[in-house]
Amino acid sequence: MSASRDHILNKLRAARKPFPDAPPRPQPYRPVALLDDRSTEGLLERFGREVKNLLGECFVVEGDEAARGTILDLLRAQQTTDLLAWDFNHIPVAGLEAAIRDAGIAIHYPETHDEFRAETIETIRHAQVGLTGVDAAIAATGTLVVSTGPGKGRIPTVLAPTHIAVVSLDQIVPRLEDWVARQREIGLAAIQDRGNLCFITGPSRTGDIEMQMILGVHGPGKVQVVVKR
């Protein structure tokens, strides 16, 4: 019995040793998604194209006034009466909060970590739209990088049927690897201190056993991105 045990343990110990013919980890990694044009306009064009390929919508506007008008048009098209939103300090459009209130739309900043959780959920459950900014936008895949923090709750990105995200032009980066590299430059604590970090690539989607794609089952079925130059 002891010999059998030793034989098994010796095999396990040997298996933990690195394979002698395993190649070393490469210093540079080949990019998963290729980009032909890394200029500002090239990144914008690629990002918009990828968002549309994902069945999202992308609207490029010039300045705050155009951004406000486009967002209000999108809210009216959804017949929005109740809006879930981040603190507007995290949404890069001046005067947007006042413009939405002037349009008669109720703005909710959902907070579910207090004793009024049940009342809050009941109030916001029928909201038509969630409105947020982003941490970054990935041109190669049309992905939105969104983290939580003070004034940046997760609920506006997942609860309402439509998610409108506002992106400034300088937030568009070529690939996810570039965004990660930027975080390393400023210190990984910038990521580690966030309560939640999500990568949103198009509307929520799932496929049933017959492989039929269905949008909006586990989150917003419509994603609209407003890019402000």
What's the mean pLDDT in 155-163?
Answer: 93
Cα–Cα distance for residue pair 2/35, rounded to 1 Å: 60
Q: What is the pLDDT of residues 5-19, one digit of tens each?
A: 888 888 877 766 665
In the structure, what pLDDT confidence band is assigned to residue 32 with cuts at 50, 70 and 90? confident
Is 187's pLDDT higher than 60?
yes
Q: Within a domain: residue 26?
A: no
The residue segments making up the domain with residue 109 are 37-228
Q: Within a domain: residue 65?
A: yes
For 108, the token pair is 């909710």
Which run of H or of E encompasses 193? Answer: none
Q: Within a domain: residue 128?
A: yes
What's the pLDDT score for residue 57? 97
Cα–Cα distance for residue pair 32/177, rounded to 1 Å: 9
What's the mean pLDDT in 46-54?
Answer: 96
Q: Within a domain: residue 93?
A: yes
What's the pLDDT score for residue 34? 81
Q: Within a domain: residue 160?
A: yes
Count of structural domains, the chain: 1
Q: Within a domain: residue 80?
A: yes
In the structure, what pLDDT confidence band is assigned to residue 33 with cuts at 50, 70 and 90? confident
Q: What is the pLDDT of residues 79-128, one digit of tens each?
A: 999 999 999 999 999 999 999 999 999 999 887 666 666 776 777 888 99
Q: Are 55 and 202 in contact (CB under 8 A)?
A: yes
CATH of the domain at 192: 3.40.50.10420
Q: Within a domain: residue 8?
A: no
Q: Within a domain: residue 16?
A: no
Is 1's pLDDT higher than 60?
no
